[in-house]
Structure 1
Amino acid sequence: MTSPRSSSPARSADRVPVATDRLRQITVTASEVLSLLGPLIGAGIIGSRVEESPGGDLSSDATLVAPGGPAFSIWSVIYLGLFAYTIWQWLPSRTTDTRLRATGWLASLSMVLNAAWLVVTQQGWIWASVVVIIALLVTLVLLMLRLARHGARHGAGESIVVDGTFGLYAGWVCVATAANIAAALASSGVATTGTAPEWATAALVLFLAGSLTFLQSRIGGRWAVAAAASWGLAWISVARLTDQPQSVVVAVAAGVAAVLVLGVTAIFRAPGARSR
């Protein structure tokens, strides 16, 4: 019969820092420094503001699926979370953390892709920005799946700094990807007003809610993902009622989608849901 202690050497070995641990920490930190371009560009300190480039295609009144301006304030929380995550992963007790080993490189890539998106939009390359943001979305989905697979171990701090930060990041980018694609289509001459575009956009918004529901089913329902996604969807609804182009159809669809995302998350988080 195998002694419970027989596997302890392997577990101890896992807790010994290796060269790749330090390289990962340095890479994440360098990526965080690069990602600081975000607030500088977003505020117009470097280049033009995001909503003013390229040619206003990403402004809150550019398409039916563009969130209202205040929605983008969520980036302040995300950037603060990324900074906290960068500090967190340098803590001695976190150097060999299994979750950080599994997700650190993806976290770094997400920061680089976000910076790349900002650079691309500054150049006015709207379709290139679509490619970049889709790559960013895929990266964040993979990261969330890995976080779910490994499970949190260090209490509230980890839940906020790691799961909370990347949950908000992933949820927001889901909405931003739909808005980015719509902006690219509009820049190519696709109509953004009229009955057909309204119903097509409403269908896109509800499809987005369905996709988020599927993602939540795979990661056990994350409130951070739901909060960021519903925040973006709610601001799409507000913008379509108060800003141009106006559309009651899209506003209702976005409102329903926001409630749906929150509702299904509550179901996935309900006691006993994971055992069913």
Structure 2
Amino acid sequence: MISVVLLGAGNVATHLYKVFHNSDAITVTQWYNRHVDKISTYKNEVSVTDSLIELVEADLYVMAVSDDAIATVSEALPFQDRLVVHTSGTASLYDLDAKHRRGVFYPLQTFTKDATIDFSAIPLCIEALKKADYKLLKTLAHAIGSQDYKVSTEQRKRLHIAAVFANNFTNQMYRIAHEITEANQIEFDVLKPLILETAKKIQNMSPYMAQTGPATRGDKQTIKKHLNLIENPQHKAIYKLLTESITETHGRKKL
């Protein structure tokens, strides 16, 4: 049984608590947050605290806090030579205070507090300075049903950038599409099969091969008509930029 102390109360921390709590191989011995009221609803399941001094001993301390707080909180922990990991996509392993055995336990997924998450479908990117600690993180990942990947700090930083493009920027495109459909009294649901098919295609082919649309075809007239219809200047600029990127990628002359 792996004993875990969880630090933080955001989206990632909440989902980690739930999956840890439901695992037969893990026990969450304590949950810390500086504002204990944010985790007080779980006090009948786990010991909660807002005091770092009260932290109990555990096999592992998982810091699911903001990137800016990692160094400060890890320095403030009132012990040393225990395994402390963060869950950040961009923070360095060395942002953790050197008095600890340091590691990273980064779930590569988008987290919203009230959304259901299946950890068996989430890649766990792990890193540690000591072999024994790395082995423990692998065991922890397997205990929640996740596939683990050995990813260095530098690789993880680039991976996080890729994730921003694949998720955050894509979701912003959905938001713009939603705005356009609503402004024209069209149900956004009409686009959902297209969104799902786009995601489905890249499971079996490269994004390059899956690309379709007027920019890929070099359809200048359609692009011109679209630009004339787009009223929002920011949307028009995004359309032009992405069109240019696609045409360059697919070897088309500048449209």
* TM-score normalised by structure 1 residue count: 0.25
Query: Counting helix residues as a fraction of each chain, which structure ranks higher?
Result: 1
* TM-score normalised by structure 2 residue count: 0.26
- Greater Rg by CA: 2
Query: Counting strand residues as a fraction of each chain, which structure ranks higher?
Result: 2
The higher relative CO (CA closer than 8 Å, separation ≥ 6) is in 1
